[in-house]
Amino acid sequence: MSAIERLDEFGGYMGKYCIINLTTNKTEVVEPPDEFYRKYLGGYGVGAAVITERQPAGIDPLAPESHLGFCSGLLTGAGPFFAGRFMVVGKSPLTGGWGDSNSGGYLSRELKRAGYDAVFITGKAKKPVWVLVNDKGIEIKDATSLWGKDGVETEESIRESLGDKKAHVACIGSSGEKLSLISGIFHDGGRMAARSGLGAVMGSKNLKALAVRGKKKVPVADRERLKAINSDFMAEFKTSSVGDRLSLKLLNNVVTWLIYHTGISVPAHPSMVREIMKTYGTTGNLVFSFMTGETPIKNWTGVGYTDYGMASAAKNSDDNMLKRQKRRYACQGCPMGCGGFVDIKKGRYAGTEGHMPEYETIGAFGGMTLLDDTDIIIEINEMCNRAGIDSISTGCAVAFAIECFEKGILTLKDTGGIELGWGKGDSILKLTEMIIAREGLGDILADGVKRAAEVIGKGSEAYAIHAGGQELPLHDCRNDLGYAISYQCEPTPGRHGSGSYLNAGIFGVEKKFPQMQQILKRANSKEEKDVCRYTASSIYMSLLNGCGMCLLGACSSDLPMIEYINAVTGWDLSAEEYYKTGERILSLRKAFTVREGITPADQRLCDRAIGKTPLASGPNKGVTVDIDALQDIFFRNVGWDRNTGGPTPAKMKDLGLVSLFS
């Protein structure tokens, strides 16, 4: 049965993916059976299955033989809300294991409209190239004139050459070209698939950009059912309570003060998250996060109230950031619209429009370095976007360097005469420039703090905050122990999108997965129950990412994901069956990491992040994370071996993964 015939029966997937070899200039189009999509959905599920099968174990991620995938979600373009995400996948040059990066915008739907569920790139071009994928075919084009251009310039140049303003472009900037191991992939004017260092994989192939354009229609098995689900969903999503609106007004003052001074927790609810995101975007809870211990401060040694202060946090959040906003934007299929554009008033991009900095960027360059100059943070955000470099890792690298300078490990000779210091905007800006350009000290920092500490030595590893080589996001795991599990135990270490205790509660995993009642009954302690809920949220995230759905959508609503999948595909599977699908995707990614020789010890969280020397004050005062105990419980829940870190042989067999690794 051909892909076209198959789409008359099932929906969601286009029924094919392609593998483009830049060494041979040949393209292979693969039409997998329907069972393939039932097993792996789409997104990084499909990406992990294809790369595991196609890519030899143990190769250098920057070698020509490595594969880089751009994977659309199973539900993308079919009509469900919050299904506009895509994933870039491959072996991470930063961690050495499985790598993926998730982003929104409109590229994901365009992949489907071009007729493909995923596009994989292998080989290496002799000179810079860009690839055009559309519903008429695939072309490899000369990118010599594009090499050296930033992301904005590259997008504009390609669209102009195509005579098509609606073409969607994913590209690297100077950081990917220079093979920075913290580089990412730029698209849609300032969106970033930033984590795992996959921009370097793209650069190693001399691939400047992937442009996608198509007009095909994504099939849906039951359109009437999908319309009904969307109608019911929006009826609920549009509601807001007086309590939510009041809480929003009190969040940055009364509630923050209450939590800081009493330790009383305020329960999160999807409707409250929705109110925040619809009003402010991700900066809406920044003051709250900085002051209540959610955001790590001063390279994980400080306290928000005393080291950064309410006034500094407020400069970059809520109404003050909203005043700078020119207009809002939403990703494809999003009814919320948490993004925004700002008029850049100062610096090298003055007079232009740029993306409003997100929470993670402000946390990385604000709380971590104690910088509170909003204009400099906006300029740095634009610099990182255009250069195609991960702002989380870059900000953390700057904080690492500041502390090393403060401790006398780095000197003026090492910094090229720059007087590094906490909150010193000009020096932070200059060091960021050096990281992007790979100049001087910046050349060392451009490959992440773990490798930088190995080069610098002198005890600097104590100040390198990472897990498995990847810099930690701006969510303190001493504040939410679920993040500690995520940072150390997941297939991609040092990532916040896999889950947390907070997310497990907001997702309502006990309601979504009926078997959770029995699972929780078997738990012998509160700690075990918490880890069980975290486990379910991690599996839920595997489903979300396989479907191309948004984490913020899941946090701000009772997202009917399972109902969406069945309506779009026509499969009619149960929640229990989808739970196993999520387990399969999670374990497949972890098995890839283990196959590449990564052990649990290689992904261990740094001592400072788990409070080996506890903070002396603040909301996280005295907290020490028993990560070994948490890891043991999590591994037991998911059926992973405590020594190898990967799925046991029995688990591999149960999930139907053995053939991929034989």
- What's the Rg (C-alpha) of the chain? 23
What are 489's two structure tokens? 């135990």
Closest among 380, 394, 400, 448 to 298, alpha carbons compared:
400
Rounded Cα distance between 392 and 662, Å, is: 37
Question: Using an 8 Å Cβ cutoff, are 585 and 48 in contact?
Answer: yes
Give me the sign of the Cα torsion angle 427, 428, 434, 440: positive
Give me the sign of the Cα torsion angle 51, 170, 164, 330: positive
Question: Using an 8 Å Cβ cutoff, are 86 and 103 in contact?
Answer: yes
What percentage of the chain carries pLDDT values higher than 90?
87
Question: CB neighbours of 216 closer than 8 A, spacing ≥ 6?
Answer: 14, 112, 113, 114, 115, 135
What are 554's two structure tokens? 């899941």
Angle, alpha carbons 497-500-504 (nearest 5°): 105
Rounded Cα distance between 66 and 172, Å, is: 17
Write out residues in the chain with pLDDT < 50, as ranges: 1-8
Rounded Cα distance between 438 and 35, Å, is: 46
Question: Using an 8 Å Cβ cutoff, are 367 and 295 in contact?
Answer: yes
Helix (H, G, I), strand (E, B), or coil: what is residue 473?
A: coil
Sheet holding 68-72, edge to edge: 26-30, 17-21, 118-122, 68-72, 86-91, 98-103
> Are β-strands 17-21 and 26-30 bridged in parallel, bridged antiparallel, or unpaired?
antiparallel
Rounded Cα distance between 412 and 417, Å, is: 5
What integer pLDDT is reported at residue 7 of this predicted model?
A: 44
Rounded Cα distance between 91 and 57, Å, is: 10
What integer pLDDT is reported at residue 313 of this predicted model?
A: 87
What are 532's two structure tokens? 């069980």
Rounded Cα distance between 637 and 534, Å, is: 10
What are 67's two structure tokens? 């594969």
What size, in residues, is the chain? 662
What integer pLDDT is reported at residue 275 of this predicted model?
A: 87
Closest among 599, 383, 592 to 488, alpha carbons compared:
599
Rounded Cα distance between 158 and 156, Å, is: 6
Q: In 218-317, where do the E strands start and end?
A: none
Q: Please name the fold of domain 264-292+297-464.
A: 1.10.569
CATH code: domain 481-661 is 1.10.599.10
> Are β-strands 118-122 and 17-21 bridged in parallel, bridged antiparallel, or unpaired?
parallel
What integer pLDDT is reported at residue 531 of this predicted model?
A: 98
For residue 87, list its beta bridge partners: 71, 102
Question: Using an 8 Å Cβ cutoff, are 43 and 73 in contact?
Answer: yes
Rounded Cα distance between 287 and 271, Å, is: 19
Residue 419, classified by CB atoms within 10 Å of its CB into exposed (0-12), middle (13-18) or buried (19+), is exposed
pLDDT tens-digit map of 616-631: 999 999 999 999 999 9
Closest among 650, 654, 648, 635 to 534, alpha carbons compared:
635
Average pLDDT across the chain, whole number: 94
Helix (H, G, I), strand (E, B), or coil: what is residue 620?
A: coil
Question: Using an 8 Å Cβ cutoff, are 64 and 23 in contact?
Answer: yes
What integer pLDDT is reported at residue 5 of this predicted model?
A: 44
Question: For the packed helices 526-547 and 481-489, what is the interaxial angle rounded to 10 degrees?
Answer: 60
What integer pLDDT is reported at residue 250 of this predicted model?
A: 66
What integer pLDDT is reported at residue 252 of this predicted model?
A: 63
pLDDT tens-digit map of 348-390: 999 999 999 999 999 999 999 999 999 999 999 999 999 999 9
For residue 329, list its beta bridge partners: 339
Angle, alpha carbons 277-282-283 (nearest 5°): 110
What integer pLDDT is reported at residue 257 of this predicted model?
A: 63
DSSP-derived secondary structure letter, 283: G
Structural domain spans, the chain: 3-213, 264-292+297-464, 481-661
Q: Please name the fold of domain 3-213.
A: Aldehyde Ferredoxin Oxidoreductase;  A, domain 1 (3.60.9)
Rounded Cα distance between 459 and 150, Å, is: 36
Question: CB neighbours of 379 closer than 8 A, spacing ≥ 6?
Answer: 344, 346, 347, 348, 349, 429
Question: Using an 8 Å Cβ cutoff, are 308 and 399 in contact?
Answer: no
Helix (H, G, I), strand (E, B), or coil: what is residue 239?
A: coil
Question: Using an 8 Å Cβ cutoff, are 224 and 14 in contact?
Answer: no
Q: In 288-389, where do the E strands start and end?
A: 325-329, 339-343, 353-355
Rounded Cα distance between 202 and 180, Å, is: 11
Question: Using an 8 Å Cβ cutoff, are 477 and 605 in contact?
Answer: yes
